[in-house]
Structures are given as C-alpha cells and as structure tokens.
Amino acid sequence: MSALKERFSILSSLMALAAVTFVFAAELALAQQRIRITEGQVAPTPIAVAEFTNLGGEISDAGREIAEIISNDLLSSGLFDPIDSAAFIAPPKSPAIRPNFANWAPLGAKGLLVGSAEIDADGKLQVEFVLWDVITQRDITSGSGNASPDGLRQLAHKIADFVYEEFTGDAGYFDTQIVYVAESGTQSRRVKRLAIMDQDGHNHRYLTSGLDLVLTPRFSPRSHEIAYLNYFNDEPNVYIHDIRTGRSERLGSFPGMTFAPRFGPRGDKLIMSWAKNGLTDIYEMDLSTQEISQLTKSASIDTSPSYSPDGRKIVFNSDRGGRQQLYVMNTDGSDVNRISFGDGRYATPVWSPRGDIIAFTKMTGGRFYIGVMNVDGSGERLLAEGFLVEAPTWAPNGRVLMYFKQEPFENDGTGGETALYRVDITGFNERRVITPSDASDPAWSPVR
C-alpha cells in the first residue's frame, strides 16, 4: 500500500508540475513583445504657469505675483523651462474649468498650472490650483491653501514645490531659507554678520549686529535654530541662535576653542571640533543634557564633522595620514575608514540628505573645487572650480549644492569679491545667488 501511495503522490506531483509548465509556456507564447528604450534627453521641462485669477475670472495682482514667483522658482532649478505668458493663446479663467489642451500643446508645454487667488472677507489670501499634464490631458495634482497677505511668497513657494515634486520625484526646496555670513568693509577691517533670506534672495535680514566676528552657521533640522561660531571678546565659541526669539546663547563653556558645529539629523545632538592642549578632536554634545563625549583621539587635526542622514555615521576630515583627507566613522568613534584617495587635499565634507553621496571641498594645483563622491569614496566628480570655492551645503532634497566663491584680491587691496552660488549635482545650471553684500559660508534650511 505504501508503495502505491508513493507512486500516486509522485504521479500527482509530476502532473501538477506539467500543468504549471504548460500554463507557463502558454503565458510566454502570449506575451507581448518588449521594446527596451535606453536613450532619452536631459532637458528642462517646458511648463506653462498661468497667472492666477480671482473668482470673477480676472487676473489679480496677487495672482500675477504668485505666478511670477512660481515661474522664477522653477526656472532657477534648471529643470523647468517656464513658457512666457505672452505666448498663451487663451489664458484659463479658473482652476475649476478643464483647459482646452489644444491651446497648450502647440506651445510645447508638458505641464500647465492653473490657479485662483482671492482675498476673502477676513483678509486672508485663499489660493487654489490644479496642475495638468498637457500630453495625457490628466490632472496631476491639485490643492488649496490660505495665508495672510504677507505669506503670499511662501504660499507660492509651496505651490512651486508641488510642481517640482510631481515632475521630478524629488521633494521641492523652494520654501526654504539660507543663512550665511554677510561680509562688508575692507580686507583688514572685515565685518561679518549673520544674515538670513529666502532661497530666492527675498525677505533678507541680518541676525547679528556685526560687532563680533561670526563663522560657519548651520541650521538645525528644526529650522528655527542656528549654530555658529562667534568670536565674543576674541574668544571663539559655538553659539545657538533662535530665529523666532532673536536670541543667541553660548553652547556651554569650554576651555580652548570650539568650532565647525553641525546638528544631528534629529536636532537633539551637535558635533563640533574642540581644540585644546594643542589637539583638535571631534566631540558630540547631547543638547538636552549638555553632556559631551569625545569621538576621535588622535594627534592630528580632526574637524568638519557631518552626520549621515540616518545618524549612524560621521564623515570628517583629518590630516592623520599626513595630508588632509576624508574619513568615515561610526557615531561612537569606532571603525574609522579613509574614503578619499585623490590628489590634493579634501575638506568640509557634508553628507547628502539622501544619504547616497558626500560633497566636499578639494584643493589641488593651486585651485579650489567643489565635488561629490559616493559614501565609499568612489565616483568622485568635481562640480565647480575657482580661486577659492568652499563650504558646500545641501538643499533639503539633496539635488542642489550651494557654496561660496571668492575672487583674488588685487595688489591695492581691492577685489576679493565673495558671493554665493548654487549648482545642480549634475554640474549644470550654476547660478549666482543675489545678496545685498558679499556673502560666504551658506547653510540651507530644511523645508519650512
């Protein structure tokens, strides 16, 4: 009986296998032909941003300004090519009305943003918008919001973020701020102040008076705190500035010099360099308990630490190998590995918010460069070059880098102009960021 059962089970298994094989073969026979497309183009996406209308279908001043801000944001990214509104055949009257795509396709537009902006009885700005795909004639996304009239720019930046995200997959970064060191005066009597502005240069204001020299500001992930180095009474120390209250506070009292601060990914910790007794090492401070732990112990200069987005690794630069290079270690200071092996010196590493690459400053052949490399040191690419190019900072989406460039000084002491620039990680679309005065040491805020 057992032999019979065994034969039966084997037979049934084979039949099942045969049935599956048959179905699988039938599936293959009916499968559609696959055509692999491996070539495309890298070009800005043409998009039409219609001026926002009021309830009566007329273009309002607020609507015109909103459309202009969105267009400028998209244009500045280098990934969009907003179409001049003068070319519009029949501007839409309302986001509630389905546009006639026959009027937009000839313009080459792939996207169409239609919106309304109206100030209600309470004095609030009410905004609605719909983003259309002109090619497939479907709505991609839509939304609405309100703000006080002074919040118009922020509202427009947020809409631009929506558009950016839908077309690129990356989160938008237009509703962000830049804190930087505003410089003025002669080379010998240079005044350096903390200043903050929107990423497009608007809403500029100073955070410090300029009596003390300030350097290396860094945003907290909570976006309302800024850590920076302040030379108060000629004593350099790390301070925390609260944007909401306008107050600055020294971060503990340390003998020696603390500098190069940077917040942890959750904003609860801060790493920095501490120079004491002739040694410069990296320390981590728990902001809630004020406890400090030493992460590196070497006779060399370890500085410019930066957390990985997951908070598990730290990248920093050190001359422990005889020349300034980049190293990665665990957050407890263990497992230190060198990742840069190119010519020249590497400094100011910053881990991308996406976690995939690290930006750095490179000095070689008497020139400065801004570059990126994979977290294991491979795939090094240089994105910008100059007499002095330094201090890269990432946009929150990890697609854009900002840094500053300084021109050489002339013999008569003139020159030395310093300005902020930003570039896409592809190395294209480098743009100067307009500031009221010379600018250096930028830091990009998280999205508000």
Largest CA distance in the chain: 108
Rounded Cα distance, 346 and 340, in Å: 8
Q: In what order do the strands lie in the sheet with 257-263?
A: 257-263, 269-276, 279-286, 292-294
Write down the least CB distance from residue 375 to another protein, Å. 13
**Measured from the CB of residue 148, what is the shortest distance to another protein in angstroms?**
30
To another protein, the closest distance from the beta carbon of 69 in angstroms equals 22
**203-222 CB burial, b ≥16 within 10 A, e <16:** eeeebbebebbbbbbbbbbe
Quote the least distance from Cβ 17 to another protein, whole Å. 6
Least distance (Å) from another protein to the CB of residue 295?
Answer: 30
Q: Nearer to another protein by C-beta: 41 or 277? A: 41
Strands 225-232 and 235-242: antiparallel
Instruction: Provide DSSP, 171-197.
Output: PP-SS-EEEEEEEES-STT-EEEEEEE
Cα-based distances in Å from 195 to 115, 158, 215, 298, 435: 33, 23, 11, 35, 10
Q: Which is nearer to another protein, 35 or 86 (CB)?
A: 35
- In the complex with another protein, the residue whose CB is nearer, 167 or 327, is 167
CB 86 within 8 A of CB 69: no
Helix axes 152-168, 61-77, angle to 10 degrees: 40
For the bound state, the minimum distance from the C-beta of residue 164 to another protein, rounded and expressed in Å, comes to 10
Nearest to 181 by CA among 169, 193, 191: 193
Cβ nearer to another protein, comparing 138 with 247: 138
How near is the Cβ of 306 to another protein at its closest, in Å? 21
- Residue 107 Cβ, how far from another protein at the closest point, in Å? 13
Residue number, 65 or 356, with CB nearest to another protein: 356
Q: Residue type at 426?
A: T
Whole-angstrom Cα distance, residue 235 to residue 400?
A: 34
For residue 269, the one-letter residue type is K
Going by the DSSP 8-state scheme, the letter that residue 57 receives in this structure is S
- In degrees, rounded to 5, the angle at the alpha carbon of residue 267 between the alpha carbons of residues 266 and 270 is 120
Residue among 42 and 86 whose Cβ is closer to another protein: 42
140: left (phi over 0), alpha (psi -120 to 50) or beta: alpha
**Least distance (Å) from another protein to the CB of residue 398?**
10
Residue whose CB is less far from another protein, 176 or 280: 176
Find tokens 């600018």 and name the residue.
439
Q: Closer CB to another protein, residue 113 or residue 271? A: 113
> What is the identity of the amino acid at 179?
V
Distance between CA atoms of 198 and 368, rounded to whole angstroms? 27
Shortest Å distance, C-beta 325 to another protein = 24
Closest CA to 162 of 211, 134, 129: 129
Tokens of 115: 């919106």
Choice between 13 and 186, CB closer to another protein? 13
**Footprint of another protein on this chain (CB under 8 A)?**
2, 5-6, 8-10, 12-14, 16-17, 19-20, 23-24, 27, 30-43, 45, 79, 101, 110, 133, 135-138, 140, 165-170, 356, 399, 424, 426
Structure tokens at 231: 């030379």
CB of 251 to another protein, least distance (A): 37
* Closer by beta carbon to another protein, 13 or else 144: 13
Rounded distance between C-alpha atoms, residue 6 and residue 20, angstroms: 21
- The smaller minimum CB distance to another protein, of residues 252 and 379, is found at 379
* SS3 state at 218: strand
